Amino acid sequence: MTLIRGALTWSPGWPSPVATDVAIEGGRIARVGERLTPAAGEAVIDGTGKLLLPGFVNAHTHAQSHFAKGAIDGLPLELWLPYLGARVGMLKPQDLYVSTALGAIEMLKTGTTCACDMAQMPGLTDEAIDAVVRAYRDVGMRVALAAQVSDVPPWRSFEGLEEHLSQDVRNGMAAQPPASAPTVLAALRRAVERHHDSAEGRIRFGVGPSTPTSCTDELLVGVADLARELDLTVQTHVAETRAGAYTARVRYGASAVVKLDQLGLLGPRTLLAHSVWIDDRDMELVAARGATIAHNPVSNLKLGSGIAPLIKMREHGCHVGLGTDGSTSSDNQNLIGVMRLAAILPRVVDQRHENWPTAADVLTMAISGGARGAGFESIGAIAPGQLADLILVDLGPTYYHPRNDLIAQLVHADVGASVVTVIVNGEVVVRDGRVTRVDQDKLLAEADALGRRIADAVAPGLAGQIAAGAREALEAISRTPLMREVSALGPFRTG
- Binding positions for Zn ion, rule: CB under 5 A: 325
Least distance to Zn ion, CB of residue 240, Å: 7
Nearer Cβ to Zn ion (113/211): 211
Query: Does residue 51 sit in helix, strand or coil?
Result: strand
| Cβ pair 99, 64 in contact under 8 A | yes
CA distances from 436 to 139, 420, 430 (A): 8, 12, 6
Alpha carbon distance 19, 10 (integer Å) = 9
Query: Does residue 387 sit in helix, strand or coil?
Result: strand
User: Burial of 148 by CB count in 10 Å (0-12 exposed, 13-18 middle, 19+ buried)?
Assistant: buried
Query: Does residue 424 sit in helix, strand or coil?
Result: strand
Nearer Cβ to Zn ion (279/325): 325
Nearer Cβ to Zn ion (8/149): 149
Nearer Cβ to Zn ion (11/150): 150
CB atoms < 10 A from the CB of 287, how many?
Answer: 17
| Cβ pair 462, 469 in contact under 8 A | no
Establish how many alpha carbons lie within 13 A of residue 4's alpha carbon, considering only the half-sphere containing its beta carbon.
Answer: 34
Alpha carbon distance 376, 28 (integer Å) = 13
List the 28-33 sheet strands across, edge first.
28-33, 21-25, 2-5, 43-46
Nearer Cβ to Zn ion (324/409): 324
Least distance to Zn ion, CB of residue 30, Å: 37
Nearer Cβ to Zn ion (17/323): 323
Alpha carbon distance 450, 435 (integer Å) = 21
Least distance to Zn ion, CB of residue 393, Å: 27
Least distance to Zn ion, CB of residue 238, Å: 10
Nearer Cβ to Zn ion (61/409): 61
Closest residue to Zn ion using C-beta atoms = 325
Least distance to Zn ion, CB of residue 392, Å: 30
Contacts of 322 (CB under 8 A, 6+ apart): 58, 59, 294, 295, 296, 335, 338, 339, 342, 362, 365, 366, 369, 370
Query: Does residue 309 sit in helix, strand or coil?
Result: coil
Nearer Cβ to Zn ion (325/361): 325
Nearer Cβ to Zn ion (96/169): 96
Candidates 19, 14, 16, 13; CA nearest to 50 is 19
Least distance to Zn ion, CB of residue 294, Å: 8
